[in-house]
Structure 1
């Protein structure tokens, strides 16, 4: 790891220091001054943003791009990534912790590997993170003597717990949402099985999502309940079949998943204002 000043007039960032009595834990405190930070992460790193930092930031071999780290948030940078931050507007600064396995294995109850695979995440905001950052900022501003090792260990532990908890919660929420890809799968499944008795539970199982999530997602995208969405697709399929073939109405009803010809006629008339037979004749 190397840390350099952004310009000759800027103050130099303190190098990472080991926390006494906490094997595998290091910290770095930077005040309100411009800086340039360049490093390759051999350990997981969490930064607590004591104030807003306006920067040009690049990850791995990517190009630098403008990026603002928001005040009272956390940033998670997993091991194995490299980064460079050229900060030109800095308010309050940051406190960063580096976590080796020797420390993480003592405080974590589950593997962080899924979080590492997701890459760097910044501007992680939650009430617990904000409270922790405010506490750290007060201590950093008031402290004139070297940081107390026990206090640094406690803050680092809370930073790990609250940041990883926030990331895990966000991952669960992403997994439990009906995404664009998931909705496309739903559309294809309904179209491919339009002649079947499509149960809500079966559709949710096909998408590997809770029924409630599918219900809410379909309602948000179409304005219809899942039940009504499937009925609309059955009516559309019946209309296409009526235009393209001379199949008996009872066969059209079966092919489109209606319980009977009468059921199809009632729903078709309600939706299009005409019966299936009249619709075919006018098509």
Structure 2
């Protein structure tokens, strides 16, 4: 059993919800992994004693409460490194699916240098990297099997995730997000318009025209601001809205698919299942059970 002061127990108490997955990963890069599904809330997390990696696996967007109104939001596949001794304050509306990794035993020099820099700045490190996101999802998926999980595979994959994380920190992989870039008037207005028109045809060309710039310039501006392509962002916004409607309304799933801009219910189900590991119907049932348990 972990000691009462374990950082994952501290996180669990602060969130007020039990994780769906909770397991230690041994090997050369020991971690403690957890998987959470949470609902509408504002979470103020006090500083933890170890480095924490949070990966947004799906659901509603999460806003840094210290930057509300700036567009500093974290959506599916975006990640955040929280240094030891740094508190955070988050606002989210709807079901949020998150993987958390506590770096309890990593003593790599590059990581220690990163910790020193982040601790001195007193700021989390937001970034986007497909490999880190995919590895995080695969790790918690495998750990979901409990005693039947492939331990050797988990340890190898954790080592790859940590190695890629160091590459991101050194600037040779991934994209560090730049929320300040979202203060640009044209980007803010486009993002707001996107939220209100998810049911429509949202090509990069359409968005560039809304921003009043060329398509190629818009792609660069968007990548600098959010660390991903416009197409990927639109898809993730649509899946975010799907999650909100599944948990906050009784609308039929086919209607939700139409309102969120998917060509068909089957297209939405395929995209949603790829991100969440659950069909929309199963996600709705699981969220309802968790909501009922929280009410009790």
TM class, shorter-chain normalised? 0.3 to 0.5
Query: If you compute each CA radius of gyration, which structure gives the higher value, 1 or 2?
Result: 1
Task: Give the structure, 1 or 2, with the largest relative contact order (CA under 8 Å, sep 6 or more).
Answer: 2
TM-score in terms of structure 2 length? 0.41
Q: Which has the higher helix share?
A: 2
TM-score in terms of structure 1 length? 0.43
